[in-house]
Structure 1
Amino acid sequence: MLVNGDGRVFVGRRIDNKEGDWWQMPQGGVDEGEDLDQAALRELAEETGARPEHVSIIDRMAESVRYDLPEELIGKLWGGKYRGQEQVWFLARFSGSDEDIDLNAHDPAEFCDWKWAEPEHLPELIVPFKKRVYRAVVEAFRELV
């Protein structure tokens, strides 16, 4: 969860989701042997272009969060290898300006558009099967945002 100085959260519209007006927070995988904090900062830089000097990790959820794909997506996403994800969520503060966001910082880009959103609106913006995850993330970081 990347939060700006106004307490709003970065969300992006995925390039590969043409079936709805869904927005999500940056997320990504951890390379073998990679430290979770470093993975979070790397993925954030790849997906948003936010440079490390503009990002400070504030907190990490105590428990990981899991979700399962809906039946209609199993076998279609992630090369058919996975049925869901287990995620470790971080809260990070962004000290840069909007001009420091660069969705094309990594090839291929993951997002085609982005905006700052109010934290309480996040569950309304995400695909339905991730709403429970987003509610948990908002609740975990509510006091720190």
Structure 2
Amino acid sequence: MLDREGYRPNVGIIITNERNEVFWGKRVREHSWQFPQGGIKPGESPEAAMYRELMEEVGLLPHHVKIIGRTRDWLRYDVPTHWVKREWRGSYKGQKQIWYLLRLVGRESDVHLRATHHPEFDAWRWHQYWAPIDEVIDFKRDVYIGALQELSRFLHELQSWDYFLQHQETESSTK
């Protein structure tokens, strides 16, 4: 299901722990990492899609997490043409996403990457809140910046994006 502009409705999920670190998943048989995300089915609300994708990709149920916040509007990214299936070229541009910020209130052992027959991730780790911006595939970077910046207001005692950037520059100049 695409909107009039060629974007597929989707949800993005940022799961945090009590230290404001984020769940960072390694895609199956790839060397790329990302946040959980997935399409919204016709007639499905973004929140219902988020809970479905959370269970399918991470194995977590609603009682394992608490919704802390969500983005106000859709955030969009274009998929490079060479990544688009031939039959979709010309109509499909990319994804439009509503992002959710969740707190894990269950245990880490509740994470079950093989909850379905088609797992999305084969490994995961906790990561610094801002670090995924530098590690995600280029065409998703602006959406990650937008989502993390907008949702950061819901977290207390979190270093700012500017502080993180300055710290990264200082760290790399001392190496």
TM-score normalised to the size of structure 2? 0.74
Higher relative contact order (CA 8 A, sep 6+): 1
Distance 1:43 1:56 in 2: 15
Counterpart check, 1:67 vs 2:86? no
SS at match of 1:141: helix
SS at match of 1:102: coil
Aligned residue for 2:68? Answer: 58
Matches of 2:85 and 2:93, distance apart in 1: 8
Rg: which structure is higher? 2
d(CA) in 2 for partners of 1:7 and 1:62? 21
Q: Quote the residue 1:107 is aligned against.
A: 117
Deviation at 1:75, TM superposition (A): 2.6
What's the counterpart of residue 19 of structure 2?
6
1:141 aligns with 2:151: yes
Q: SS at the partner of 2:124?
A: strand
Return the alpha-carbon distance in structure 1 between the equivalents of residues 123 and 88 of structure 2.
27
Answer 1 or 2: which has greater strand percent.
2
Deviation at 1:102? 0.4
Kindly provide the amino acid, as one letter, of the partner of residue 7 in structure 1: N
CA distance in 1, matches of 2:43, 2:84: 28
Percent identical across equivalent pairs? 35
What stretches of structure 1 of length at least 5 have no aligned partner?
A: none
Q: What do the CA deviations read for 1:108-135 (whole angstroms, capped 9, x no partner)? A: 1010111111111011121111111111
User: Alignment partner of 1:109: what SS?
Assistant: coil
Distance in 2 of aligned mates of 1:30 and 1:71: 22
- Post-superposition offset of 1:69: 1.0
The alignment covers a number of residue pairs equal to 140
The 4+ residue runs of structure 1 with deviation greater than 6 A are none
Q: Tell me, which stretches of 5 or more residues in structure 2 are unaligned?
A: 1-13, 156-175
> Where in structure 2 are the equivalents of 1:27-106 lying within 5 Å?
27-75=37-85, 80=88, 82-106=92-116
RMSD: 1.6
